[in-house]
Chains A and B, each alone.
Chain A
């Protein structure tokens, strides 16, 4: 595919070796971000920062608890708030 930045022939020269530094998962997930940045001078730094922060973002996004109780079955609070 011509616009696939994971295609070695389509990578900007300044970013040579960038993909090799990523995990297999990183190579699979990153193209959309990369595509929007790859003409920028700061592309590599921005892109790597995004990749490196992914575990933290993923933890917050994919596994965050729902922020209110779904059911309310316990009559006594676990740690009673003083209100």
Chain B
């Protein structure tokens, strides 16, 4: 049944379906899945957008006994200014996105680690990843690999179904800007090249083909470097947001082969499901425990479940705050959702006893409305 259209004065503010508010302990965010941005908002505004969705402004002001009329007007100006929504008379015609996540691939992404002792059968690995439908690979070289060897590895992936290869290479003088560009041009599946242990931090201009490349000073000499959590690794798009509702955004549909050829969920984890030289990847995948961690989503993880970034964060299950608790937060995450601040571990200890700071940095006043802590 179609409801009667509302009079203009009764129009309600409706968020675009791709702009989804997510509440955190201290503040909330609007995840704009189309523009791929994450905008902090006060929890008071989250309350208006969710508990009072579908109400006209006058109704909302009434709910708060007209104590915050000015702030409420300011909120809506902010939302319009950032193009998060629009005024409309028939909000029921704009349903929410269906966030069901499905993927036809048994494995969507894989990590292959390489060091000087690696003895991988690349053809076999890539062929088996192909059979599993794998579309993205990160090739991580912890030590310098001579260019001809790098070419040999990449050639083995030339005819498969991979759509994307991220190459993490150790710096060597031969990895000049021209050499990287030549690699990217020769192997079109490459979408990103990062050269670690470089003498300088330098991002190269994107190539004509859209490939990005950068030299980084930071040393990545083992899987122990992985598991970093910071905004640079947040992903605001519909695929990841939908996946995060029910799955672990790091491990779901991931397969890793460490430098020794051991098949794992992640190279940083101890558990091996066999060596890729002897065990077909699909056999490892068929093991009952292989997919066990795939379903640990952020709503189940301590502290993360109170974090406003929980559906854009790509998590880590290898390095945990409490190694004995599968549901503890990533140990390398320094964000505290209860204070809305990024902290070093030392700072975190110092501030644990101090009162929570104010929200001066937020774009709008937080917690001004009734029932908002």
Interface residues of A (CB under 8 A from B): 59, 61-83
CA distance A59 to B29 in the complex (A): 33
16 A-B residue contacts at CB 8 Å? A59-B210, A62-B188, A63-B209, A65-B210, A66-B136, A67-B235, A67-B237, A68-B249, A70-B110, A74-B218, A75-B228, A76-B218, A76-B230, A79-B203, A83-B40, A83-B234
Known A66-B109, A69-B314; judge A74-B228 contact (CB<8 A): yes
B220 touches A73 (CB 8 A): yes
Bound: A83/B28 CA distance, A? 11
Would you call the interface of chain A mostly helix, strand, loop, or mixed?
loop
Give complex CA distance A65, B364 in Å: 36
Judge if B14 is at the interface, Cβ distance under 8 Å.
Answer: no
A7 vs B225: C-alpha distance in the bound complex, in angstroms? 58
Q: Does A73 lie within 8 Å of B196, measured CB to CB?
A: yes
Given contacts A70-B138, A83-B309, contact A65 B232 (CB under 8 A): no
Taking CB atoms and an 8 Å cut-off, the chain B residues in 168-205 that contact chain A are 168, 188-189, 191-192, 194, 196, 203
Contact call B233/A80, Cβ cutoff below 8 A: no
Q: Do B38 and A63 touch across chains, with their CB atoms under 8 A apart? A: no
**Inter-chain pairs besides A65-B192, A67-B237, 18 sampled, C-beta below 8 Å:** A59-B210, A63-B163, A63-B189, A64-B164, A66-B108, A66-B135, A66-B164, A67-B235, A67-B240, A68-B239, A70-B110, A70-B136, A72-B314, A73-B225, A74-B220, A76-B232, A82-B231, A83-B29
The verdict on B229 contacting chain A, using a C-beta distance below 8 Å, is yes
Are the CB atoms of B316 and A72 closer together than 8 Å?
yes
Is A74 touching B194 in the complex (CB atoms < 8 A)? Answer: yes
* Across-interface contacts of A82 in B (CB, < 8 A): 231
Contact residues in A for B135 (Cβ distance below 8 Å): 66
Q: A65-B191, A80-B232 are in contact. Are A70 and B166 (CB under 8 A)?
A: yes
Q: Bound complex: CA of A59 vs CA of B254, how far in Å?
A: 24
Q: Name the distance in Å between A39's Cβ and chain B's nearest Cβ.
A: 31
Q: Is the CB of B230 within 8 A of A77?
A: yes
How many of B's residues come within 8 Å of A, CB to CB? Answer: 51
Of A65, A67, A77, A82, the most chain B CB neighbours within 10 A belong to A65
Measured in the bound complex, the distance between the Cα atoms of B138 and A70 in whole Å is 6
Provide the residues of chain A in CB contact with B109, threshold 8 Å: 66, 70
Contacts of A67 in B (CB 8 A): 235, 237, 239-240
A81 vs B109: C-alpha distance in the bound complex, in angstroms?
A: 25
Q: Which residues of B contact A71 (CB under 8 A)?
A: 111, 138, 140, 168, 226, 267
Q: Residue B144 at the A interface, CB < 8 A?
A: no
Q: In the bound complex, what is the Cα–Cα distance between A76 and B237 (angstroms)?
A: 22
- In the assembled complex, the Cα of A28 lies from the Cα of B229 at a distance in Å of 47
A68 touches B240 (CB 8 A): yes
B residues 88-147 near A (Cβ < 8 Å) are 108-111, 135-138, 140
A19 to chain B, nearest CB (A): 27
Minimal beta-carbon separation of B334 from chain A (angstroms): 10
Residue in chain A with minimal CB distance to B219: A73
Bound complex: CA A8 to CA B192 (Å)? 44
- List B contacts of A61 (CB < 8 A): 163
| Docked pose: A67 CA to B235 CA in angstroms | 8
Give the residue among A59, A61, A77 with the most B Cβ atoms within 10 A. Answer: A77
Smallest Cβ-Cβ distance to A62: which chain B residue: B163
Cross-chain contact of B228 among A59, A64, A72, A83 (Cβ < 8 A): A72
Does B227 sit at the interface, judged by CB under 8 A?
yes
| B10 CB, min distance to chain A CBs, angstroms | 35
- CB-defined contacts of A78 to chain B, threshold 8 Å: 203, 214, 216, 232
Question: Hey, which chain B residues are within 8 Å of A75, CB to CB?
Answer: 218, 225, 228, 230, 332
CA distance A74 to B231 in the complex (A): 12
A65 and B228 within 8 A (CB): no
- The chain A residue with its CB closest to the CB of B250 is A72
Contacts of B29 in A (CB 8 A): 83
Shortest Cβ distance from A61 into chain B, in angstroms? 7
Contacts of A69 in B (CB 8 A): 233, 235, 314
